[in-house]
């Protein structure tokens, strides 16, 4: 008990419709680097958010340094010496390193004004503590990403943290920067700090961590010392062991290629991506968070510009430089973040559904609203969209129904290729299955669908083939009918090996 | 009797509570009646026609501003564009032999171009509308003094002053122009893709781009239209006064927003 910095016992937390954490227990020794890994949605982030006081668990107890505590908010967590180094940089880019380190925790003089001399002196102390040399008076935006990350660590230390949570800190770092980060982590460990390290790089875990806890479906699947675990074993524990025998039949798809992507790259995002999608195929793109799948399809659809590579669509070499161009060619795109990129909250269901058809239905007398109303009624009925009426504001609909409206938007335009990014994120189970059925029946009728999803089960049940990506590179292809979740993880996480087929 | 009245008023108030527009209308009517009680010249034919004539200039500017506000931006250059348009049209009419109506057309087009410059800077250089239009507004306002050296331009041809001073029956001509513009804009906003795209763009720019709306183009045209309408208002003021005053329109920015 004495050498435990943190002990969480029997933590349970549910969200509407999901049990995110089921009886999770987690222990962190003093001076230990403890990896927390698992697939997307396994519960890592939820567990850490519980620790940070962002979520309140329904059941469970938390002990910090052997003392039981109630963490009701982030303020409590910080007071207990728990600090999070977030994955995304959360510094103020225009402020200096010293200012950032003490933001919200300023060194004040007796008049309540900020004591700048003290600020930079103390900032230096914390920067030295992590054993690197950073000019504390430098403006943060002039530092490299790696150094900005170190500033975040210094800030966490300045807030008095002795339990540090690193959320995928290496995701955006280069090789030598990772080495620097590891040096800092070892330094902190020697000072007796305890670190929770969340990462998808299994090779890294072998190098830096002492213990590994593997989560799966909101439960702890396995915990052991790092030296006892091999990469293969880790992957087995991450995947669902009782993998369902796939009852899926192999669907016959056309030999004709509708979209052919060759050596597509975009700087800092993805490199050398090549794949073909057949006519009428449901093509899945899988991988873990940070595999740059969304970035890839953004470039294909013309939202961002590619750095190099070519694309052929319907047998012709195309240069898609705007979504407008992609639509003209016959593509449609359902974005990942419905609220941010999908719906027009201030407009009605009818307008959200038919905005893509306005140009086609326009004449000198204006838009043919009779026709758009008819289209809307058609799709409300066909897709079973539950809405009070056509003119209701879309923001008042449930997530699943909003998603159906956005899908209909493209169906009404008769697109040939539909790109869906996380089509069932944040929608309830019923709507989810309705959307699955819809996608299947559309593909039967000859529509080609590309689906990006973090839910491997979704990809396996829905698609014909899956392309697995990891950190912006294609790691291989799988035939969904013959594959299981473990295969996807193996492909994503193992080094390039003999998994290339197709 | 009194109680009955009160309950009637309160029921009207309750109904109108849902819409702030109808609330404003009620307050306006009450104020008009009140003012007329204080001075019964208030609702006289002369006073009302002068009042709505004066209001029509700002309203035309406000139409353009409304389009810009719908896209989620703001146009602070309306005063500058209106002012300089009044001056340029007058200068062309007085100092060149061009037909005065052609002068007006040229100036309106120049107003549109000036607005498009705002739009171009906002969309292509990606600067905030507030900053861009504040700066260009100052530039356009400065042009006035460059052209006039601070002196008004007088002797506007009588053929065009009718646009500002004339009456059709009981209604002043600028009010008619304002109504035509208002109705035209309403139709475009309600029934044409361009109008619907403006709402879409203002509601969610990302989603608009993904659904194939050429967001940059729409924004540029909207700022162009705001410039065009400001120019019309500036020209009408010049026609009304029969002279181009350097200070015209300088106070129109805030009224156009609310």
Give residue-wise pLDDT tens across range B53-104. Answer: 888 999 999 999 999 999 999 999 999 999 999 999 999 999 888 899 999 9
* Residue B217 pLDDT > 90: yes
Span B94-125, pLDDT tens digits: 988 889 999 999 999 999 999 999 999 999 99
Copy the structure tokens of residue A230. Answer: 């091999």
Domain locations along chain B = 1-43, 49-257
* Residue A277 pLDDT > 50: yes
Q: Are A343 and B207 within 8 A, CB to CB?
A: yes
Shortest CA distance to B85 belongs to which of B223, B227, B231?
B231
Q: Are A341 and B191 within 8 A, CB to CB?
A: no
Lowest mean pLDDT among A58-72, A96-110, A298-312: A96-110
Rounded mean pLDDT, A278-282: 92
**pLDDT of res. A502:** 39
Q: Which of B196, B210, B214 sits opposite A303 (nearest CB)?
A: B210
User: Where does the pLDDT of residue A165 fall: very low under 50, low under 70, confident under 90, or very high at 90 and above?
Assistant: very high
Output the average pLDDT for chain A: 86
Copy the structure tokens of residue A266. Answer: 């975009």
Span A307-365, pLDDT tens digits: 999 999 999 999 999 999 999 999 999 998 888 899 999 899 999 999 999 988 988 88
* Residue B254 pLDDT > 80: no
**pLDDT of res. A398:** 82
**pLDDT of res. B44:** 83
Please report residues of B whose CB lies closer than 8 A to that of A342: 204, 207, 210
Shortest CA distance to B76 belongs to which of B226, B245, B244, B233?
B226
- The answer to whether residue A366 neighbours chain B at the CB level (below 8 Å) is yes
Domains of chain A, with CATH numbers? 4-238 (3.40.50.300), 256-330+416-502 (3.40.50.300), 338-414 (no CATH)
- The answer to whether residue A341 neighbours chain B at the CB level (below 8 Å) is yes
List residues of B whose CB lies inside 8 A of any A CB: 187, 190-193, 196-197, 199-200, 202-204, 206-214
User: Where does the pLDDT of residue A412 fall: very low under 50, low under 70, confident under 90, or very high at 90 and above?
Assistant: very high
Span B24-60, pLDDT tens digits: 888 888 888 888 888 887 788 888 888 888 889 999 9
d(CA A203, nearest CA chain B) in Å: 38
Rounded CA-CA distance A314/A316 in Å is: 6
d(CA B257, nearest CA chain A) in Å: 20
**pLDDT of res. A356:** 92
Helices (DSSP H) in A80-230: which residue ranges? 97-101, 116-129, 145-158, 175-190, 202-208
Q: Are B193 and A367 within 8 A, CB to CB?
A: yes
Share above pLDDT 70 across residues of chain B, in percent, rounded to a whole number: 91
**pLDDT of res. B9:** 58
Please report residues of A whose CB lies closer than 8 A to that of B212: 323-324, 327-328, 356, 359
* Residue B220 pLDDT > 90: yes
Q: Exposure pattern of A24-59 as b/e (b: 16+ CB <10 Å)?
A: bebbbebbbbbbbbbbebbbbbbbbbbbbbebebee
Q: Are A341 and B204 within 8 A, CB to CB?
A: yes
Q: Please indicate whether residue A31 or residue A177 has the higher confidence score (pLDDT).
A: A31
Share above pLDDT 90 across residues of chain B, in percent, rounded to a whole number: 57
Copy the structure tokens of residue B47. Answer: 């006073």
**pLDDT of res. B29:** 87
Q: How many CB pairs under 8 A join A and B?
A: 71
Q: Are B203 and A323 within 8 A, CB to CB?
A: no
- The answer to whether residue A393 neighbours chain B at the CB level (below 8 Å) is no
- The answer to whether residue A370 neighbours chain B at the CB level (below 8 Å) is no
Q: Are B211 and A362 within 8 A, CB to CB?
A: no
**pLDDT of res. A498:** 41
Please report residues of B whose CB lies closer than 8 A to that of A301: 210
* Residue A243 pLDDT > 70: no
d(CA B150, nearest CA chain A) in Å: 43
Span A465-499, pLDDT tens digits: 999 998 889 999 998 888 888 888 888 887 644 43
d(CA A279, nearest CA chain B) in Å: 23
Span B182-206, pLDDT tens digits: 999 999 999 999 999 999 999 999 9
- The pTM of this model reads 0.74
| For testing contact with chain A, the best of B197, B207, B214 (most A CBs within 10 A) | B207
Share above pLDDT 90 across residues of chain A, in percent, rounded to a whole number: 37
Output the average pLDDT for chain B: 87
Shortest CA distance to A54 belongs to which of A73, A70, A81, A82?
A73
- The answer to whether residue A356 neighbours chain B at the CB level (below 8 Å) is yes
Supply the DSSP string of B5-29, one letter for each residue: HHHHHHHHHHHHTT-HHHHHHHHHH
d(CA A259, nearest CA chain B) in Å: 19
Shortest CA distance to A441 belongs to which of A462, A419, A412?
A462
Q: Please indicate whether residue A331 or residue A149 has the higher confidence score (pLDDT).
A: A331
Q: Are A355 and B200 within 8 A, CB to CB?
A: yes
* Residue A242 pLDDT > 60: no
**pLDDT of res. A501:** 41
Rounded mean pLDDT, A146-151: 86
Rounded mean pLDDT, A428-448: 87
Q: What are phi and psi of B182, to 5 degrees?
A: -60, -45
Q: Which of B197, B203, B212 sits opposite A345 (nearest CB)?
A: B203
**pLDDT of res. A454:** 84
């Amino acid at each position: 008990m004495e050498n435990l910095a943190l002990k969480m016992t029997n933590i349970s937390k549910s969200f509407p419709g999901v049990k995110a954490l089921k009886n999770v227990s987690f222990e962190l020794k003093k001076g230990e680097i403890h990896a927390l890994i698992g697939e997307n949605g396994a519960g890592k982030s939820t567990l850490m958010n519980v620790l940070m006081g962002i979520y309140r668990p329904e059941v469970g107890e938390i002990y910090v340094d052997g003392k039981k505590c109630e963490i009701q908010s982030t303020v409590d967590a910080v007071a207990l010496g728990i600090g999070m180094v977030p994955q995304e940089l959360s510094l103020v880019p225009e402020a200096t390193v010293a200012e950032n380190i003490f933001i919200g925790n300023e060194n004040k003089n007796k008049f309540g004004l900020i004591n700048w001399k003290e600020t930079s002196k103390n900032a230096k102390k914390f920067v030295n503590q992590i054993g690197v040399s950073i000019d504390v008076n430098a403006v943060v935006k002039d530092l490299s990403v790696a150094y900005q990350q170190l500033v975040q660590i210094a800030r966490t230390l300045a807030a008095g943290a002795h339990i540090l949570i690193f959320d995928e800190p290496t995701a955006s770092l280069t090789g030598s920067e990772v080495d620097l980060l590891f040096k800092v982590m070892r330094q902190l460990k020697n000072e007796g700090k305890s670190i929770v390290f969340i990462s998808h790089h299994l090779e890294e875990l072998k190098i830096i961590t002492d213990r590994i806890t593997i989560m799966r479906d909101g439960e702890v699947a396995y915990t052991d010392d790092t030296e006892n675990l091999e990469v293969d074993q880790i992957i087995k524990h991450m995947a669902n062991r009782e993998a369902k025998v796939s009852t899926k039949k192999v669907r016959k798809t056309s030999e004709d290629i509708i979209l052919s992507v060759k050596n597509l790259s975009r700087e800092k995002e993805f490199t050398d991506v090549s794949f073909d999608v057949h006519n009428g195929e449901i093509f899945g793109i899988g991988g873990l968070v940070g595999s740059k799948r969304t970035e890839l399809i953004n470039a294909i659809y013309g939202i961002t510009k590619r750095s190099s590579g070519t694309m052929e669509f319907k047998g012709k070499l195309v240069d898609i430089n705007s979504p407008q161009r992609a639509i003209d060619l016959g593509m449609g795109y359902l974005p990942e973040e419905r609220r941010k990129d999908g719906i027009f909250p201030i407009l009605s269901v009818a307008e959200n559904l038919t905005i893509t058809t306005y140009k086609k239905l326009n004449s000198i007398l204006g838009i043919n609203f009779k026709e758009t109303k008819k289209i809307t009624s058609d799709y409300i009925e066909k897709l079973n969209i539950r809405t009070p009426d056509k003119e209701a504001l879309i923001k008042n609909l449930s997530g699943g129904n909003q998603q159906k409206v956005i899908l209909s938007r493209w169906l009404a335009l008769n697109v040939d290729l539909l790109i869906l990014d996380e089509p069932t994120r944040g929608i309830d189970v019923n709507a989810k299955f309705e959307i699955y059925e819809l996608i299947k029946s559309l593909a039967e009728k000859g529509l080609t669908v590309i689906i990006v999803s973090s839910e491997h089960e979704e990809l396996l049940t829905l698609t014909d083939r899956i392309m697995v990506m990891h950190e912006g590179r294609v790691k291989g292809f799988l035939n969904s009918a013959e594959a299981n979740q473990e295969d996807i993880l193996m492909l994503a996480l193992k080094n390039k090996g003999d998994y290339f087929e197709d | 009797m009194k109680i009955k009245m009160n309950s009637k008023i309160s029921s009207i108030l309750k109904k109108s509570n849902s819409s702030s527009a109808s609330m404003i209308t009620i307050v306006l009517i009450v104020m008009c009646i009140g003012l007329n009680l204080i001075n019964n010249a208030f609702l006289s034919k002369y006073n009302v026609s002068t009042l709505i004539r004066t209001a029509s200039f700002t309203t035309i500017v406000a139409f353009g501003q409304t389009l810009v506000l719908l896209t989620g931006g703001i146009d602070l250059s309306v005063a500058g564009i209106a002012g300089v348009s009044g001056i340029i049209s007058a200068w062309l009419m007085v100092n060149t032999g061009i037909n005065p109506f052609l002068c007006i057309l040229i100036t309106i087009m120049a107003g549109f171009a000036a607005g498009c410059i705002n739009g171009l800077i906002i969309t292509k250089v990606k600067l905030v509308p507030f900053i861009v239009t504040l700066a260009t507004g100052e530039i356009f306002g400065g042009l006035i003094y460059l052209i006039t050296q601070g002196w008004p331009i007088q002797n506007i041809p009588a053929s065009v002053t009718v646009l500002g001073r004339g009456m059709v029956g009981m209604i002043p001509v600028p009010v008619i122009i304002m109504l035509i513009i208002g109705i035209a804009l309403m139709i475009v906003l309600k029934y044409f893709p361009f109008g619907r795209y403006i709402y879409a763009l203002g509601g969610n720019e990302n989603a608009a781009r993904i659904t194939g709306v050429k967001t940059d183009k729409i924004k540029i045209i909207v700022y162009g239209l705001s410039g065009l309408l400001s120019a019309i208002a500036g020209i009408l003021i010049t026609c009304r006064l029969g002279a181009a005053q350097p200070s015209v329109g300088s106070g129109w920015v805030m009224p156009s927003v609310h």
